[in-house]
Amino acid sequence: MIGPIIAPEDRLPRTLVVTNDFPTRQGGIEAFVAALSDLFPPGEVVVYTASMPGDAAYDAELAYPVVRDRATTLLPTRRVRRDVVAAFREHGCDRVLFGASAPLGLLAPALRAAGAQRIVALTHGHEVWWARMPVTRRLLRRIGDEVDDLTYISDWCRDEIGRALSPAGRAKQRRLAPGVDPDRFHPGCGGAEVRAGLGLDPGVPLVVTASRLVERKGQDMLVEAWPAVRAVVPDARLLVVGDGPHRRTLEHRVRTLGLDDAVTFVGARAWKDMPPYFDAGDVFAMPSRTRLHGLEPEGLGIVFLEAAACGKPVLVGRSGGAPDAVDDGVTGFVVDPTDTAEIAARLCDLLTDPARARAMGALGRERVVRDWRWEQVGATCREYLDGQTVSDAV
Ligand code: GDP
């Protein structure tokens, strides 16, 4: 029997998201790509990504198919190109979204040849590095020429990445910054329970920081600033959420400074358990800095948006696009991330004036609910995939 004939123009569009960064790995790009994928209407998205621990259980909960390549890091090799193209065809896709432009955007010509009508590639802080090194710079330029739209997360990233692109590539740059889910991250989303679990009184002044623990995220400067913070707020505590290569150095420094009773490391937490940690503090602080002569900046910092959504004032380091995440002096403070005295002073300002801290936090939540919701981000992304790029924010 012959089934109903569906004219191509009546078929639902279907996007293949090609990404090395996806849960269960943790990080900003992973969070961004997962949130965008979750926002597609049913049946309109398929994800192609790498294998990673715990992936089968994670994928089983999703409303859309995820194809896991056997590689744990997805690179644009000949074999991966063949398998991505096969998945594109097998799932009847007609569009492609690259979770990060570099390097997987190099697969664009093969996917175009396989019938991709629209190709959108995201960029993050990571492509700033690509834009600055001679060989990768040329590859990024090529990617910019091949795709239809190349997104950026902050004006700073747009300018840095734009330097590597051809004039035609620069004309394809469109803003697509990550967002936050204010229904998951909100005041009262479990912070009291976190405090109780850690034996912290509701009244203990608490600063929270959360990220992969790598040097540039600036937790070391919080630790260095802590003796000065304690001199003004003797019972102030610092809660460090996350794990990473820098953790041992941080723990060692905490011991050397005699701060064991003031600084608590809770390690990495599962995605679903993150919001209560942002809610637990009075202030969120991450004075990230740019490392390696500008090659490793903070692209934006989703954590600042998550903390603001929980109604917390945020302390942000002046690095890359991070200042975009805060309204300086209104919803938090932007500080020199290498200046422990300034970091300590701003933390003390907030900890000694809880009413002001709460007011700034409330304005921060208003700001993210107004301008930084995932629904808006998803709608903009779909406009780009539809080819409706007249709303270009450049
Ligand atoms: P990036 O990792 O440098 O891209 O930093 P961002 O601040 O942009 O994004 C980090 C993301 O990882 C945010 O959504 C955080 O909530 C999340 N995150 C930070 N620490 C942890 C952790 O310990 N566990 C989990 N599951 N997520 C974390």
Mutation test residue for ligand 1: of 24, 26, 290, the one with most atoms within 8 Å of CB = 26
Residue burial 22-50, b: 16+ Cβ < 10 Å; e: rest:
bbbbbebbbbbbbbbbebbeeebbbbbbb
Per-residue pLDDT at 145 exceeds 80: yes
- Cβ < 6 Å from ligand 1: which residues? 26-29, 31, 210-212, 241-242, 268-271, 274, 301-303, 306
pLDDT at 294: 63
Share the mean pLDDT of the chain.
94
Q: In the predicted model, is pLDDT for residue 392 greater than 50?
A: no
CB 218 within 8 A of CB 337: yes
Please report whether residue 57 resides in a domain: yes
Please compute the mean of the pLDDT values over residues 326-352 and round it to a whole number: 97
Tokens standing for 13?
């569009």
Residues 81 and 228 placed together within one structural domain of the fold: no
CA-to-CA separations, 45 to 40, 41, 173, 222, 256, in angstroms, rounded: 6, 8, 23, 41, 51
Please tell me whether residues 85 and 160 are part of one structural domain: yes
CATH number, domain containing residue 119 = 3.40.50.2000
pLDDT of 279: 98
Do 216 and 143 have their domain in common? no
Predicted pLDDT of residue 256: 98
CA 380 to ligand 1 center in whole angstroms: 23
Indicate whether 84 and 222 sit together in one domain. Answer: no
- Mean pLDDT across 317-328: 93
- In this structure, which long-range contacts are made by residues 378-383, counting pairs with CB atoms below 8 Å and at least 24 apart in sequence? 378/35, 378/36, 378/39, 378/40, 380/175, 380/176, 381/36, 381/39, 381/97, 381/120, 381/151, 381/176, 382/40
At residue 203, does pLDDT exceed 80?
A: yes
Residue 210 Cα, ligand 1 centroid: separation in angstroms?
Answer: 7
Pocket test for ligand 1, best of 302, 304, 312 (most atoms within 8 A of CB): 302
Task: Kindly state whether residue 120 falls inside one of the protein's structural domains.
Answer: yes
Atom index in ligand 1 nearest the CA of residue 300 equals 8
pLDDT digits (tens, 9 = 90+) for 229-248: 999 999 999 999 999 999 99
Q: Environment class of residue 149 by beta-carbon count within 10 Å: exposed (0-12), middle (13-18) or buried (19+)?
A: buried
Amino acid at 12: L
Contacts of 298 (CB under 8 A, 6+ apart): 125, 216, 288, 290, 317, 319, 320, 321, 322
What local confidence, expressed as pLDDT, does residue 27 receive? 84
pLDDT at 393 over 60: no
Q: Please say whether the beta carbons of 209 and 304 come within 8 A.
A: no
Count the alpha carbons within 13 Å of 156 in the hemisphere toward its beta carbon. 19
pLDDT at position 394, please? Answer: 39
Which atom belonging to ligand 1 lies closest to the Cα atom of 214? Answer: 3
Q: Check pLDDT > 60 for residue 1.
A: no
Residue 225 and residue 353 share a domain: yes
27 CA distance to ligand 1 centroid (A)? Answer: 4
Share of the chain above pLDDT 90, in %: 88
Each residue of 342-357: pLDDT tens digit?
A: 999 999 999 999 999 9
Q: Is residue 66 part of a domain?
A: yes
- Report H helices in 244-321: 247-256, 275-280, 302-309
| Ligand 1 centroid – CA 267 distance (Å) | 12
Query: Which pLDDT belongs to residue 354?
Result: 97
| Ligand 1 atom at shortest distance from the alpha carbon of 212 | 20
Residues 261 and 240 in one domain: yes
Measured in Å, residue 110 CA sits from the centre of ligand 1 at 32
Structure confidence at residue 26 (pLDDT):
84
* 8 located within any domain: no
Whether 2 is covered by a domain: the verdict is no
Q: Prior bond to 24 cis, omega within 30?
A: yes
Domain range for 111: 15-179+373-386
Of all protein residues, the one whose alpha carbon is nearest to atom 9 of ligand 1 is 28
Q: Which of 58-62, 316-320, 365-369 has the lowest mean pLDDT?
A: 316-320
Helix (H, G, I), strand (E, B) or coil at 14: coil
Å from CA of 29 to ligand 1 middle: 9
Residue with more model confidence, 298 or 341: 341
| Domain shared by 223 and 322, yes or no | yes
Closest of 339, 345, 305 to residue 322, by C-alpha: 305
pLDDT per position as a tens digit, 150-200: 999 999 999 999 999 999 999 999 999 999 999 999 999 999 999 999 999
Say how many Å lie between the CA of residue 28 and the centre of ligand 1. 5
- Is residue 109 domain-resident? yes
Supply the residue whose CA is at minimum distance from atom 3 of ligand 1.
Answer: 28
Q: How confident is the model at residue 9 (pLDDT cuts 50, 70, 90)?
A: low
Ligand 1 mean position, distance from CA 20 (Å) = 16
Kindly state the tokens that stand for 115: 């019938």
Structural domain contains residue 140: yes
Residues 278 and 323 in one domain: yes
Instruction: Let me know whether 61 and 95 are in one domain.
Output: yes
**Structurally, how many domains does the chain consist of?**
2
pLDDT band at 389 (very low <50, low <70, confident <90, very high): low
Residue whose token pair is 């090799």: 77
To the nearest 10°, report the CA torsion of 119, 127, 155, 346. 140
Rounded to whole angstroms, how far apart are CA atoms 63 and 56?
A: 13
141 within a domain of the structure (yes/no) = yes
Same domain, 153 and 299: no
Q: Are residues 47 and 123 in the same domain?
A: yes
Distances (CA, A) of 43 to 3, 155, 197, 271, 383: 19, 33, 41, 24, 17
Assess whether 305 and 162 both reside in one domain.
Answer: no
pTM score, whole prediction: 0.85
